[in-house]
Amino acid sequence: MKLENKVAIVTGASSGLGLSIADKFLKEGAKVVFSDINVEKGEEIVSQKKNAIFIKCNVTRSEEINDLIEKTIEKFGKLDIFVNNAGTAAMAGVDSMSDEDWKKVIDVNLTGVFYGVRAATKYMKNNNIKGSIINMSSILGINGFNGSVSYCAAKGGVNQITRTAAIELAPLGIRINAVAPGFIQTEMTKGMLQDEACRKFLEASTPLGYIGEPEDIANAALYLASDDAKYVTGSILYVDGGWTAR
């Protein structure tokens, strides 16, 4: 049990990577807050789980993130781990992306991460908790990709939030890292992976030759959340089948 007696929040936990991470933390002994904007799905998920609750949170609203942490403390008494996983995407070229799509992706994937980092930091600092903050980045934080200008921009920003915060928080014993997935089988990538030509391209571009699974990312998040990574901060952990090694 790598996370026994720990309390964790995972945003975007009603599906995909967030759900896999939250479930992994539960199995490793943590009490886990599943957070998402999808109330019906989130409440259904936790209804059959022990040591888990659901709290609705729109990460683009700082007051909701602050409330998320307050409610977590009320329920479980503390917070040790905060995972900024909530994300979205919008496919469009640089000359065709709308203001609305640009703003949505940046608000959720970048500003929402900053709000989470800031709120978790304030709580951990004020309560002398040497916790772990984990951000969800992507291989597209350092690689360009057709039709993904807003997503690439946001994830590049997440990397820099992670590195900068790590330097600031290290004297407090608070670690902050990011997981950067390659192409993983989730609802977000379902359309791409169902396109045979696109899937073949992605598999051919991945040195290991296949598409990853959510549990691959959950295992990486578990490592960063646990004491196994006690000397790891400011790192971007690429879980991408070798994509960024090319």
The CA distances from residue 10 to 142, 155, 174, in Å, are 24, 18, 17
Question: Which pair of structure tokens corresponds to residue 152?
Answer: 């690439």
Rounded to two decimals, the pTM is: 0.96
Q: What is the CATH topology of the domain spanning 7-185+215-239?
A: Rossmann fold (3.40.50)
Annotation marks residue 115 as catalytic: no
Of residues 174, 181, 185, the one with CA closest to residue 219: 181
Choice among 151, 210, 223, 238 that is catalytic? 151
Q: Is 100 exposed, middle or buried (0-12, 13-18, 19+ CB in 10 A)?
A: exposed
Of residues 119, 157, 121, the one with CA closest to residue 136: 157
Q: Is 144 exposed, middle or buried (0-12, 13-18, 19+ CB in 10 A)?
A: exposed
* Ranges of each domain in the chain: 7-185+215-239
**pLDDT one digit per residue (tens) for the chain, 246 residues:** 999 999 999 999 999 999 999 999 999 999 999 999 999 999 999 998 999 999 999 999 999 999 999 999 999 999 999 999 999 998 899 999 999 999 999 999 999 999 999 999 999 999 999 999 999 999 999 998 888 999 999 999 999 999 999 999 999 999 999 999 999 988 777 777 888 898 998 999 999 999 999 999 999 999 999 999 999 999 999 999 999 998
d(CA 10, CA 81): 8
